[in-house]
Chain A
Amino acid sequence: MNNKNIQLNKEGRLRHFLDIEGIKRQLLVEILDAAESFSSVEAQRVKKVPLLRGKTIVNLFFEPSTRTRNTFELAAKRLSADTLNVNISASATSKGESLLDMLHNLEAMHCDMFVVRHAQSGAAHFIAQHVAPHISVINAGDGSHAHPTQAMLDMFTIRRHKQAFADLKVAIVGDILHSRVARSQIHALTTLGVTEVRVIGPKTLIPDISTALGVHVYHDMWEGLREVDVVIMLRLQKERMTGALLPSEHEYYKLYGLTPEKLAVAKEDAIVMHPGPINRGVEISSEVADGPQSVILEQVSNGIAVRMAVMSILMGQSFSSDGEAGP
């Protein structure tokens, strides 16, 4: 994780997409603009473009995921790439094969891109450092470190509803400590010029470095939501919690669950987002999740267009990075 520039090639173009941190605004905007174009593919009768025909994209999911893996797979298929889903628990790693041996085997099968989800922070960086030079790596979530495509689809969703980022007040609510999503969102929001990012949650779930990232910390949700334009709810990650960080789900809902009453202190046209899967009655009430201000399902659709954009930009770069004219 030391070498952030591993994401960029000599010309400063994206080669891998591992973390929002260290990527300039112009490149993020380029992803958002390309995603806008890819969203028009949905309107076609044949919902597919031939851009990545003949390329093979491998989904390497070392941690369970439904939505992220499905939308990555759909994005690859709508670009006409071939996809391979490696079921890690059933694969050779359980027979004692090392991760690097597995990667080299996939390279020998002429794969072109790895989409990596791993419980360990830095896993995607590690893989990007060790793959053959023509292969691009996308981080689909590593531990509590980063989830850059999720952050970009959130930015895309915000831009579609709010246009200019500069004047927005955005609140991220919940388990900031364990959230790779929150970390990537904060970097993306700040890079895109949002001046007021707030994080709201109990002291035990907000990391000490929050203020260093330039965000405003609130422990009272009523106060934190006042006049915000965007409310981003996070899932309570019970599987990542060790020790007594929380009183009880019931207590948490009372303090930090998003209810219509709490939402009412935000701006009237505020949108409500959630990366999913949602825990109804734990961090968000059904009334809000299914309500008119919720854009949660839009986020899912947008995820496909954004992932198509990232995949195309990376694959387009991998051909030209060494001045080579394609394979």
Chain B
Amino acid sequence: MQNTDVEQPLADMATALQHHLSEHQIKSPIMIGIHTGGAWVAKRLHQMMGIEEPLGTLDISFYRDDFTRIGMHPEVKPSKINTTVEDRHVILVDDVLHTGRTIRAALNEIFDYGRPASVILAVLVERSGRELPIEANVVGINMPLADGQHVKLEGPEQLHLVVQEDA
């Protein structure tokens, strides 16, 4: 088991996002974090970047593609997007980009709230194992992991990453 601190990667992400926004001349974006780890990361970035619009959170349980295999997630949380996403630039935040299926589900859900002007994807960890053509615009840590390895963000206080091997 390996334990990684995330303070520096978070700071790097905030800088990269600011850079991306000014480069694309995006003013007043809205930020949406994916439950649960993504929302923790988003909360930190939202603070660091001083984004005015309230932070939104998404629970993608109702948009998952594996409902017919595993059924309802017992601890599904409400999605809270308090501003309209119509014609807005959205920064979508997650903790780990792995297969890409979570992001696919999140994009579908966001579009049910309205038609955003653009969506930028920011992830704390980008790892191997993509099953869909999805990539992140901003990445905190690049982590090449083997199939049997998993990375998990622990929080909400003192965020840190834990890498585990399949037993």
Contact = CB atoms under 8 A, between A and B. Distances in A.
Contacts of B111: 46
B146 interface: no
Interface in A192-230: none
Interface in B96-133: 108-109, 111-114
Interface residues on A, range: 20 to 34
Contacts, number: 64
B78 A51 contact: no
B75 A33 contact: yes
Contacts of A30: 74
Contacts of A2: none
B80 interface: yes
Interface in B47-84: 59, 61-63, 67-72, 74-81
A45 interface: yes
A327 B69 CA distance: 9
Contacts of A320: 69-71
A34 B72 contact: yes
Given A40-B79, A44-B112, A49 B69 contact: no
A50 interface: yes
A37 B78 contact: yes
Contacts of B109: 49
A218 B131 CA distance: 64
B112 A46 contact: yes
Contact of A51 (B62, B112, B114): B62
Nearest to A327: B68
A40 B77 CA distance: 10
Given A43-B81, A326-B69, A50 B74 contact: no
A319 B71 contact: yes
A149 interface: no
B67 A325 contact: no
A49 B61 CA distance: 10
Nearest to B80: A40
A41 interface: yes
A312 B72 contact: yes
A162 interface: no
Contacts of A46: 111-113
B69 A37 contact: no
Contact of B62 (A41, A313, A319): A41
Interface in A268-327: 312-313, 315-317, 319-320, 325-327
21 contacts: A30-B74, A33-B75, A37-B61, A37-B76, A37-B78, A39-B78, A40-B79, A40-B80, A41-B62, A43-B113, A44-B112, A45-B112, A49-B62, A49-B112, A50-B62, A315-B71, A316-B67, A316-B70, A317-B72, A320-B71, A326-B69
Given A37-B77, A45-B86, A312-B62, 13 more contacts: A34-B72, A37-B59, A37-B61, A37-B76, A40-B80, A43-B113, A49-B62, A50-B62, A51-B63, A51-B67, A319-B67, A319-B68, A320-B71
Interface of A: 30, 33-34, 36-41, 43-46, 48-51, 312-313, 315-317, 319-320, 325-327
